[in-house]
Amino acid sequence: MIDYPVFEMPVLGHRLIFAIDAILHVLISHGAAVGGSVVLVLSQWWAIKNNDQKMYDLTYKILFVLFIAATAIGALTGIGIWIHANIIDPPAIGSLLRVFFWKWFVEWIVFNVELIFLLLWFLTWKQLGWEGRHKNIKFGIVYAIASWLTMVIITAILGFMLTPGNWLTSIFPTQPDYVASLFNPSWIPSLMFRTFFAIGFAAAVSMYWTWWFTKDDIQLRERAEKFFSKITLLSIPPTVLFGLWYYSQIPQEAKALMFVAGLTTKYVGHKEMLIFALLGAFALIMLAVFLFYVKPRGVPFVLASLMMVSYVFLVAEFERIREFVRKPYIVYGYMYAHGIRELDVAHLNNVGVLKYAQFVPVQYRTVTEENKVKVGEYLFKLECRVCHSVNGINAITKKVKGLDETAIYYRIGTLNSPATPFMPPFVGTDEERKALAAYLASLVQDKNTQVAKDNKGGQ
């Protein structure tokens, strides 16, 4: 982090913006791309096998929705992840690119193949018509394979960030074990978990849109809803089994943070809230899917909508928990969330982080009594702004409210403690720590002064 310029995101903060972008992208990539391609190819195949042209036409209507979602929202949020990840934590992206360069390069090629065959599948569907159905489905099959292969590579990278395994056989600059980084402990279980979850989710999406598209054809609704609900029901057992395998590969320290991740620190004392919410969402999904299978005519719109909301909630919670339990690291055991490598901490505590902060003005790389508040501001931007805004979401002013400069100084020294194990340690000299404390104390003082002025003005 100290080798890169700092980009601030006031009010909302980097963490929330990235979370919104990433969750939207996962919803589209799982529900519309990976899972959607498999489910709709199966639906198209089933229609061809049974000579069911109405089912064939319904599949196209659902594909139209998923095509718009994948090419518009999915593509934009995918680009957004790249842009924001480079802004929020460039050292992490740099490290991942060094480890996974050629794998990511292959993923980029496969992604282009995926988009080309999605376009071919969708745009030639009407052109080829019912007569050209056997040719058209081949485009869908290639699209489905390419879409899944992108997930294969991306889950390897995501798995590596949480369970890097023995990729560092010794300390740099010796050569890391890139094979070990690819075949990290959580890669295969997370890949299979996501695959079956995506298929079940996409089938639920197809059930929802079938509800809309078959209002005037109850017989088609019955055939289609039974078909899609069967896919979801069949996908649930392997999703659970691979999910348990995935869970078993997560480090014990990360498992301990799961309730904090799911509830935030405000409600961490009420673990039952998360359990009830997750079980409730799962129960709603099972109820809706079961009714779609046994009595598709009688499923009300409210229940169909709640099924979709429940799936979205489960996706959002999973992604939130997966990201949070990695804390205080961005790459587990190697690089902290603020972009400083664990193996560099001792050296930087001795010489200071400002010595290497190339984008901090020279006059603020040495702490003096006159400039320490300004130096502290730069230190906040270097080490804190990844997770905290000043006065917005997860505001640092709320965290230090009621503390004086001395108390803040001592609190900075115990960030990575049993009380807050998800926070990376402050890195830097004692003088830099004092400068950060002075800056944070000044924020509280400025806020108190402003409140006093507002109160005086209102009298």
Q: For residue 330, what are the domain limits?
A: 13-336
Q: How confident is the model at residue 452, as a pLDDT? A: 45
Does residue 289 sit within a domain? Answer: yes
Does residue 357 sit within a domain? Answer: yes
Does residue 2 sit within a domain? Answer: no
Q: How confident is the model at residue 14, as a pLDDT? A: 83
Instruction: Render 377-415 in DSSP notation, one character per residue.
Output: HHHHHHHTTTT-BSSSTTBHHHHSTT--HHHHHHHHTTS
- The residue assigned the tokens 């890169």 is 4
Note the pLDDT tens digit of each residue in 149-158: 999 999 999 9
**Three-state secondary structure of 289-327:** HHHHHHCHHHCCHHHHHHHHHHHHHHHHHHHHHHHHCCC
Span of 108-122, 184-198, 322-336, 441-455 with lowest mean pLDDT: 441-455
Q: Which of 336, 361, 388 is the last residue of a domain?
A: 336
Query: What average pLDDT does the segment 25-32 reach?
Result: 93
Q: How far apart are CA 233 and CA 226, in angstroms?
A: 10
Does residue 290 sit within a domain? Answer: yes
Compute the mean pLDDT over every residue in the chain, rounded to the nearest whole number: 91
Q: How far apart are CA 214 and CA 421, in angstroms?
A: 52
Note the pLDDT tens digit of each residue in 345-392: 999 999 999 999 999 999 999 999 999 999 999 999 999 988 899 998
Closest CA to 179 of 163, 188, 166: 166
Q: Are residues 58 and 170 in the same domain?
A: yes
Q: Is the pLDDT of residue 1 over 60?
A: no
> What CATH number is given to the structural domain containing 376?
1.10.760.10
Q: What residues does 322 pair with on adjacent strands?
A: none
Does residue 54 sit within a domain? Answer: yes
Kindly indicate the confidence band of residue 393, based on its pLDDT and cuts at 50, 70 and 90.
confident
Q: Which of 336, 352, 368 is the last residue of a domain?
A: 336
Q: Is the pLDDT of residue 87 over 90?
A: no
Total structural domains in the chain? 2
Q: Is the pLDDT of residue 24 over 70?
A: yes
Q: Are residues 184 and 225 in the same domain?
A: yes
Query: What phi and psi values does residue 184 have, to the nearest 5 degrees?
Result: -75, 160
Q: How far apart are CA 364 and CA 280, in angstroms?
A: 53
Q: Which of 285, 319, 336 is the last residue of a domain?
A: 336
Q: Are residues 264 and 283 in the same domain?
A: yes
pTM for the whole structure: 0.91
